[in-house]
Amino acid sequence: MSAPPPVTYFDDDYNWDDLSTPGNDFMKAVTSHPLPPSSDAAGPKTAWNGFHANHRSATFFRPKRYLSAEFPTAMAMLDSHSTPKIMLEVGCGAGAALFPVLAMSERARTESGSGRGGVKCVAIDVSETAVELLREQKEYEGVKEYVESHVCDIAREPAPVDESSVDVVFLIFCLSAIEPELFPSALKNLHASMKPGGLLCFRDYGKFDMTMLRFSPSQWRGGMTFQRGDGTLSSFFEVSEAERMFQEAGFVVEECKYALVENVNRKTGARLKRCFLHALLRKGMNE
């Protein structure tokens, strides 16, 4: 299998300050709305099962082909030939992040499943429907010899791997889907799964992203968290708070910044300001 063509990706299209006036006005309106009493709704696992069941036929999340360009150090670690590598993909959904990453790893493409070591990948999701969907994708056929997929709630249980065994973790648009009070336990579970010196690649929604400003005050669940109509959660991350949270979970923060991407809608010409949080975290060598 040959490598797909490289993707050009720009993550500094505008200044984050452009978002602060509309964002702060939005937060003023949101926080003056009373928080709803905490409900004993079915919970995030059921909500995500419902979400994936409703998006079975379509690829709802577009393939994230930019990830290998955004995390070159992690890709180099996967492709270095010293030993077999273990990669953990958390909140894998139907594979919108997993398949592009594997396609861009030369070692995964050429050596995995060959008995020569290569890359072993463990993909997990809280939703059994997501895991079924992942296994139904046509790309799965080409990688199933070296990809294991499991149902696992990373906020409440350890990853299904040996402790201190994972070289590279991808946590892509997943932490935002977890209840905020469980962010520390999710991060600690991941830290425990990683080898000393291992890398965690983080990508998620940034504070005042366009999708945040589209929520209504009645969907606010406190802090920077909102709940969609289907019960799934979406949190938005601020750079310094995220950095503190990562450090408290035991990580060395190598990169933590907003990725600012302006998309132009071809039909309407509207300029859509997307704001993501990009971080690269390392487990210390002596842990």
Ligand X SMILES: C[S@@+](CC[C@H](N)C(=O)[O-])C[C@H]1O[C@@H](n2cnc3c(N)ncnc32)[C@H](O)[C@@H]1O
Question: Smaller CB distance to ligand X: residue 50 or 117?
Answer: 50
Residue 242 near residue 205, CB atoms below 8 Å: no
Looking at beta carbons only, is 112 or 129 nearer to ligand X? Answer: 129
Are the CB atoms for 259 and 206 separated by under 8 Å? Answer: yes
Q: Which CB sits closer to ligand X, 64 or 107?
A: 64
What Å distances lie between residue 259 and 74, 77, 276, CA to CA? 18, 23, 5
- Compute how many other C-beta atoms are within 10 angstroms of the C-beta atom of residue 225: 19
Query: What order do you get walking across the sheet with 251-264 strand by strand?
Result: 147-151, 119-125, 85-90, 166-172, 194-205, 271-283, 251-264
Q: Which is nearer to ligand X, 102 or 111 (CB)?
A: 102
Minimum CB separation from ligand X for residue 158, in Å?
12
Contact by Cβ (8 Å): 121, 74: no
**Which sign, positive or negative, has the C-alpha torsion 211, 213, 216, 217?**
positive
Q: How many CB atoms lie within 10 A of CB 158?
A: 14
Angle between helices 44-54 and 128-136 (to 10 degrees): 30
**Shortest Å, Cβ 156 to ligand X:** 7
Nearer CB in complex with ligand X: 111/121: 121
Binding site for ligand X (CB under 6 A): 44, 48, 61, 64, 90-93, 96-97, 124-127, 130, 153-155, 172-174, 177-178
93: Cβ–Cβ under 8 A, 6 or more apart, which residues? 52, 61, 125, 130, 133, 134
Residue nearest to ligand X (CB): 91
For residue 182, the minimal CB distance to ligand X (Å) is 7
Nearer to ligand X, 56 or 116 (CB): 56
Output the smallest distance, CB 132 to ligand X, in A: 12
- Residue 151 CB, shortest distance to ligand X, in Å, is 9
The residue among 23 and 91 lying less far from ligand X, judged by its C-beta, is 91
Tokens of 10: 């720009």
Angle at which helix 183-193 crosses helix 239-248, to 10 degrees, equals 50
CA dist 141 → 17, 31, 136, 137 (Å):
45, 48, 8, 8
Nearest approach, Cβ of 40 to ligand X (angstroms)?
A: 18
- C-beta closer to ligand X: residue 18 or 179: 179
Least Å from the CB of residue 61 to ligand X = 4
Q: How far apart are CA 251 and CA 7, in angstroms?
A: 29
Closest distance between ligand X and the C-beta of residue 167, in Å? 19
